[in-house]
Amino acid sequence: MSVRRFLLSPTLIMLVPPLLWGGNAVAGRMAAGSVPPLALAFWRWFFAFLLLLPWGWPRVRAQWPLVRRQWKLLAWLALSSVTAYNSLLYVALTTTTAVNATLVSAAIPVAIVALSWLWLKERISPLQGGGILLSLAGVLLVIAHGDLTNLLALRLHAGDLWALAAVVSWALFSVTLRRFPSGLAPLALLTVQVGLGTLFILPLYLGELALGHGFTLTAKAAGLIAYVAVLPSLVAYGLWNKGVADLGANIAGLYTNLIPVFTALLAVPLLGESFHWFHGAGMALIFAGIALATRRK
């Protein structure tokens, strides 16, 4: 295998999105208190869309008849990914740590398998069922912060629950993309996805402003917006869409288990976050569940 072919292989390319999304969680946590969550989500995708237009719009125009026929599907893909997932994650990061939020998000592969069973009627083997239960136990351990009495008393952190809602949103997006391929070229799909997703965030952002949650454009705020607008947005989403098309939703979803690993490597030195025993135990349960749930037989 040539070096070029190796570097462009789907298995290697799919390592990039979780690294960039781990950095996105750290940036979202850094923004807490200085840039409101919906403002961060809106300006992230607004600037990403502007940067994408010169290359993406010609592709969209070339496939405009297909875009018009598929507008409902494309709107749903944009709503469940760009709008819902990112807004929910940034809201989560205002009250929970980056490590916690991404550990909860590590349940995405299992959520995809479970949703594929419910929606696509794909058979779940006993091993996969056990994997779903193991991952669920890991998520509950993280959400309960190692004390299961918190679950019984419903003393849960709001941020962790928002992160769990983001998991459901991303699973819906991934399974929809697999079940109903848009037929669009990857760049055309990304352009439409980002454009519609940004449009759907706008009324939410205006509502946030109406409630008095504005922000001052400091150097820190500008730097965070610039980072999330380019790397976790354009680069990561483009590679993710290609990976789902090449590998399928279940296999591509497996790569998301690297997000909490990359997040912890970044958050501990950059944010001073602590890595507790329940993080490690929860990660072990989630990863063990993923290993079982994503087995084909």
Residue type, 230: V
Q: Is residue 182 part of a domain?
A: yes
Q: Is residue 271 part of a domain?
A: no
Q: Is the separation of the CB atoms in 260 and 98 below 8 Å? A: no
What pLDDT score does 181 carry?
Answer: 74
Q: Is residue 293 part of a domain?
A: no
Q: Is the separation of the CB atoms in 249 and 109 below 8 Å? A: no
Q: Is residue 152 part of a domain?
A: no
In whole angstroms, what is the distance from residue 294 CA to residue 297 CA?
9
**CB within 8 Å of 132: residues ≥ 6 apart:** 110, 113, 114, 124, 289, 293
Q: Is residue 169 part of a domain?
A: yes
pLDDT class of 163 with cuts at 50, 70, 90: very high
Q: Is residue 21 part of a domain?
A: yes
Q: Is residue 136 part of a domain?
A: no
**Structural domain range at position 212:** 8-125+157-260
Q: Is the pLDDT of residue 196 over 90?
A: yes
Q: Is residue 265 part of a domain?
A: no
Tell me 256's DSSP state: G
Structure confidence by residue, pLDDT tens digits, 214-251: 999 999 999 999 999 999 988 887 788 778 878 776 67
Number of domains in the chain: 1
* pTM value surpassing 0.75: yes
Work out the average pLDDT over 187-191. 89
